[in-house]
């Protein structure tokens, strides 16, 4: 009789062990399709055929995508056609010229196509400027929250809420390009740590979470002072989304040496990148790689101290790049591979991008299918420190 009980105990042990193992969280292989998913729909722009773009994303091994939900425009009128002004004409994210978009039913159509392919969707907003500048109506955290509530209600109406993995209230908060409606204590890019900013973020999330308590929320950052994650109280975030690039390290040393100003409507920055960037990297690659891996390690350490996991959808080498004469993708991919592997090995990330160029319009990056497959396999097979995952986020990741 005792032998029977021992055998039963062992069998049950194997059963429960297998079930626990099956529920282990694996990082998402995520990409950023920003506002391009809806703006770049002219012939040859990359997103004119959503089915094709998503099938190719799936083929490359990705299982999550971060997009702009245009909450301020949707809340204004979900079916109105809005005229957008370009944020730049030098970069190939979004549209380089005036364009028109209609948020619904486009948003739900796109999400439903993702859901069909088991691709999770992260919602964010770059608060694109339209001719009426509707984003300037965001005059309070309550208004910010209300816009997002209306957006999620619109998605929920079509039974698509289970496809949403998290909501990023504002991309790279509070950068003046993306959040001109917010008046901060200091006019410094990425200065999220001010009391004014913290109060705004906390209140907006409180209001939103009263309506959608099951949705993980955050504001994404690219502030270089990652030690702030351990120093400031961001307990009202469910996870951190931090954007990190080699070129921004050591007071943007790489960009300073290249002579790259942030290129919006001036081509001089790219002329300097053509002339200097790859050569500068090739002269001492180990040095530039070390700047990147040191920052990734420091970010992981401080997220751990704050008891939060990380997602990074914009990364790892150079911020701005494109298919252009005399621009080579190989050195960019080399840095991105190093960053991806470092983040995956840390155990602190629940979502990892391979770069911020993982989209159809970046042909030189997109066409290397094997490169993407190799890195997404590494991402999705890596482990996560699950002690930093709260129950709300866990349910979205399982």
**244 and 315 Cβ atoms separated by less than 8 Å:** yes
**Over the chain (398 residues), what is each successive 10-residue block's mean pLDDT?**
42 41 83 98 98 98 99 98 98 98 98 98 98 98 98 98 98 97 96 98 98 98 96 98 98 97 90 98 98 98 98 98 98 98 98 98 98 98 96 96
Rounded CA separation 166/65 (Å): 11
* Residue-level pLDDT at 262: 75
* Residue-level pLDDT at 15: 37
Q: Pairing relation of β-strands 64-68 and 28-34?
A: parallel
* Residue-level pLDDT at 5: 43
Rounded CA separation 382/27 (Å): 7
Long-range contacts of 172-179 (CB under 8 A, 24+ apart): 172/220, 172/221, 172/222, 172/243, 173/197, 173/201, 173/219, 173/220, 173/221, 175/222, 177/87, 177/126, 178/125, 178/126, 178/127, 179/127
* Residue-level pLDDT at 10: 40
Rounded CA separation 208/144 (Å): 9
* Residue-level pLDDT at 261: 86
* Rg of the chain, C-alpha, whole Å: 21
3-state DSSP assignment of residue 310: strand
* Residue-level pLDDT at 155: 98
Q: Which CATH architecture has domain 25-397?
A: Alpha-Beta Barrel (3.20)
**248 and 255 Cβ atoms separated by less than 8 Å:** yes
Q: Give the largest CA-CA distance in the chain.
A: 83
* Residue-level pLDDT at 263: 75
Tell me the whole-structure pTM to 2 decimals: 0.94
**46 and 360 Cβ atoms separated by less than 8 Å:** yes
* Residue-level pLDDT at 8: 40
What's phi and psi for 339, nearest 5 deg? -65, -45
Rounded CA separation 326/275 (Å): 9
CA-to-CA dists, residue 327 to 153, 265, 323, 358, angstroms: 44, 19, 7, 17
**177 and 87 Cβ atoms separated by less than 8 Å:** yes
**211 and 148 Cβ atoms separated by less than 8 Å:** no
What's phi and psi for 132, nearest 5 deg? -90, -5
């Amino acid at each position: 009789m005792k032998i029977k009980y021992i055998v039963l105990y062992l069998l049950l042990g194997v059963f429960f062990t297998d079930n626990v193992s099956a529920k282990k969280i694996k990082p998402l292989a995520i990409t950023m399709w920003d506002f391009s998913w809806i703006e770049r729909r002219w012939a040859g722009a990359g997103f004119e055929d959503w089915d094709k773009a998503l099938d190719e994303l799936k083929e490359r091994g990705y299982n999550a995508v971060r997009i702009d939900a245009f909450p301020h425009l949707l809340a204004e009128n979900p079916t109105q056609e809005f005229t957008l002004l370009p944020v730049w004409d030098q970069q190939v994210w979004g549209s380089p010229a005036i364009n028109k978009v209609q948020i619904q039913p486009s948003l739900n159509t796109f999400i439903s196509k993702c859901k069909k392919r088991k691709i999770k969707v992260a919602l964010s907003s770059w608060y694109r400027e339209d001719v009426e500048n509707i984003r300037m109506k965001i005059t309070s955290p309550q208004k910010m929250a209300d816009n997002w509530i209306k957006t999620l209600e619109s998605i929920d109406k079509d039974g698509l809420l289970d496809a949403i993995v998290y909501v990023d209230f504002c991309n790279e908060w509070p950068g003046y390009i993306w959040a001109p409606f917010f008046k901060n204590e200091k006019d410094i890019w990425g200065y999220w740590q001010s009391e004014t900013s913290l109060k705004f973020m906390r209140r907006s999330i409180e209001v939103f979470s009263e309506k959608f308590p099951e949705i993980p929320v955050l504001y994404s950052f690219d502030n270089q002072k990652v030690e702030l994650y351990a120093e400031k109280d961001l307990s009202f975030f469910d996870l951190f989304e931090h954007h990190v690039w080699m070129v921004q390290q050591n007071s943007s040393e790489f960009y300073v040496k290249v002579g790259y100003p942030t290129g919006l409507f001036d081509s001089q920055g790219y002329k300097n990148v053509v002339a200097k960037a790859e050569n500068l990297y090739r002269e001492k690659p180990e040095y530039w790689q070390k700047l990147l891996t040191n920052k990734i390690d420091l970010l992981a350490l401080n997220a751990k101290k704050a008891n939060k996991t990380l997602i990074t959808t914009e990364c790892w080498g150079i911020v701005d790049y494109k298919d252009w004469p005399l621009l080579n993708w190989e050195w960019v991919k080399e840095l991105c591979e190093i960053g991806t592997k470092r983040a995956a090995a840390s155990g602190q990330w629940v979502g990892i991008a391979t770069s911020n160029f993982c989209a159809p319009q970046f042909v030189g990056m997109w066409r290397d299918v094997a490169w993407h497959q190799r890195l997404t396999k590494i991402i999705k097979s890596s482990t996560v420190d699950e002690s930093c995952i709260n129950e709300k986020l866990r349910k979205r990741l399982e």
